[in-house]
A = this chain, B = another copy of it.
Amino acid sequence: MQTSTRSAVSIVLGGDAGQGVESSGAGFARALARAGFQVATRADYRSRIRGGHNFYQVRAGIQPVHSHSRGIHLLLALTPETVAVHQNEIVPGGAVIFDEGWQVDPSRLASLGVRPVSLPLSQLAETAGGKVMANTVVLGAAAAMMALPLDPLMSVVEENFARKGRPVVDGNLAALRAGYEAVQRKGAAAEFPYTLDLPPAAAGPGNGRRPSPPLLHGNHAFALGALAGGCRFVAAYPMTPATSLFEYLTAHAEETGLVSKHAEDEIAAITMAAGAGFAGARALVATSGGGFSLMVEALGMAGMVEVPLVVFVSQRGGPSTGLPTRSEQGDLLFTLFASQGEFPRVVLAPATVEQAFEAGWRSFNLAEKYQCPVIVLSDEYLSSSLRTVPEEALNRQRVKIDRGATLTWEDMDRIYGAPDSVSAPARPAAPYRRFAFTENGISPRAVPGHPAGVYAISTDEHDEWGHISEDQENRTRMMEKRMRKLETALACGDMRGPELYGPAQADLTLITWGSTYGAAREAVDLLNGHSAPGPGQPEAGVANLLTFTDIWPFPVEPASQALAAVRRGVVVEQNYTGQLARFLRMMAGYQPQASIRKYDGRPLAPEDILEALRERGMLHEG
């Protein structure tokens, strides 16, 4: 098996749930980032607390890495099962580190061209401070194999174990060194082809040149964007894979002045957020499909009463409880049409960690500008896979805050007179019309508290003042006023057409949405014969990539133009029914030549896409 991008190296750490696979893997990734590498990770774990095989992949290189991949250069095994499960994925010339006490068939490894590196892992761990430190030993060994300095790993170990006290830190540092030295003693790294030499220009803080790039996943990026964008209220009920967003904001609530509420259920979470949004806060809820299902009624409420609200939905394997810790893109059409009746909503589907950050603040601008619920669709892979991003991606200066037609106190004073001039009966001659009919559908919005801006809202159909009304003409106009906001959003250019990656012209266009972007991008690079694009992207090539990030209101014009330029289109998505393909047919009459769909909960790798294209006879290969 060929790795997707030659210059990136892939390390997989495998073991049982409860062995610290995820935390060690993430620690290793962080050390690599600190060393100045570009990193992408993938965690594969089960919906249980202990037991069962888990693994963690770290891919690192000098060029940006956009996805995990199939091939493994170095396998770190904490259990014999890890060797059995993953040995076939190791590339020729790759290596596997395992405990010398295990029964591992060397001939099998030899036939695969894999170098066996058996070390006294558990014994070294025991000596360093306890069996549980085997994961640290193996990280030290990995560093030695890959010719990595130990400094970054040591700094990560120091930090990660700090709250467990000095002895634990020291034990783990000893474990690190023990693994490192064991490999060196054995000379096991000699001529190992997949070393990670320090990049020439880039270098981490250990090297004192410039800060290492931030390493984070989509949930944390979204949270940062939301905080920078003024989000100060979050209500949620824990649900994988959205929990880390909620927990992150909660952990930083005091420091940032954010109010966080662990609600009694998802219905309470979203209705609390609606209350907060009504009162004038930028309010967020975070959930996954099952929780979103419970929020559907209140989503429609927000649409009807025109209260801004952001709903972050991280998709996981469905239907129902499904595969709670795995990735899928199964909720596109559901979130688009959720709730009875028709009302404006915005749906964004960030494809990368960078876009997740942007969605963090942009979603609130759109929610307040169009006074409606905004759904941000993520998925388990985007929500929990760490990736290094350029410094610029989290630059706060790029964050814009736009509250649209939210009326300030001064606006209200200007329109209705200053409050101290308001005497009993404290009512303006022409009372404030919360739902005033306007050309663009947007009614200037006062938040409750100003003496002249007293109003009530109702989920029943209502008139301009908010009073319940069944009047036929008012109904028609109010429906049109609300829906007009979507046209305004399109007319303002607030919704972006699909993003093109790769050459402007190509024989083959992959069409994606959400986190599938990463694998598709790497697939496109492989098809075009370069591991990562140089500054001068050629005008034409074998393949390119069209990614839809702004789903609703659907930017018909740019989308149709982009689709019209597609020669052979292949929609790549992680679901069974081909939801994006259906959606594009519905909205743009577009039908692709082929579809690649995966629905086993495991994210697509670049190689999966190439293989599927090959199977469909869509690659012109020798």
Contacts and interface: CB of A to CB of B under 8 A. Distances in A.
Contacts of A340: 288-290, 292-293, 315, 318-320, 322, 330-331, 334
A160 interface: no
A267 B602 CA distance: 31
A472 B296 CA distance: 30
A333 B337 contact: yes
Interface string A454-488: 00001111000000001011011001100100000
Interface stretch (A66-74, A132-140, A298-306, A499-507): A298-306
Contacts of A575: 342
Interface stretch (A391-399, A444-452, A585-593): A585-593
A551 B324 CA distance: 30
A248 interface: no
A460 B480 CA distance: 42
Nearest to A575: B342
Contact of A294 (B294, B461, B480): B294
Contacts of A322: 304, 340-341, 459-461
Contact of A589 (B296, B458, B585): B585
Contacts of A343: 318-320
Interface string A21-53: 000000000000000000000000011000010
A343 B589 CA distance: 25
B304 A321 contact: yes
A601 B472 contact: yes
A301 to B, nearest CB: 5
B339 A337 contact: no
A475 B305 CA distance: 41
A470 B53 CA distance: 11
Contact of A342 (B296, B330, B337, B600): B330
A319 B331 contact: no
A156 to B, nearest CB: 29
Contacts of A473: 600
A303 B322 CA distance: 11
Contacts of A326: 470
A338 B460 contact: no
B576 A342 contact: yes
Contacts of A408: none
A293 B602 CA distance: 30
A247 interface: no
A577 interface: yes
B305 A459 contact: no
Contacts of A480: 576
A300 B323 contact: no
B320 A303 contact: yes
A47 B470 contact: yes
A126 interface: no
A599 interface: yes
Most buried by B among A301, A331, A338: A338
Most buried by B among A305, A328, A460, A577: A460
A253 interface: no
A321 B459 contact: yes
Contacts of A479: 576, 599-600
A297 interface: yes
A317 interface: yes
Nearest to A339: B293
Nearest to A331: B340
A104 interface: no
B323 A334 contact: no
A262 interface: no
A568 interface: no
B601 A475 contact: yes
A261 interface: no
22 contacts: A52-B470, A289-B340, A292-B340, A294-B294, A296-B338, A297-B320, A300-B320, A301-B320, A304-B322, A317-B341, A319-B340, A320-B460, A321-B459, A322-B341, A322-B459, A328-B341, A334-B337, A470-B601, A473-B600, A480-B576, A483-B577, A583-B586
Interface of A: 46-47, 52, 267, 288-290, 292-294, 296-297, 300-301, 303-305, 315, 317-324, 326, 328, 330-331, 333-334, 336-343, 458-461, 470, 472-473, 475-476, 479-480, 483, 575-577, 582-583, 585-587, 589, 591, 599-602
Given A304-B321, A318-B340, 8 more contacts: A290-B297, A317-B461, A320-B339, A323-B470, A333-B333, A342-B575, A476-B599, A582-B586
Closest 7 CB pairs of A and B: A318-B341, A289-B340, A319-B341, A293-B297, A586-B586, A304-B320, A320-B459
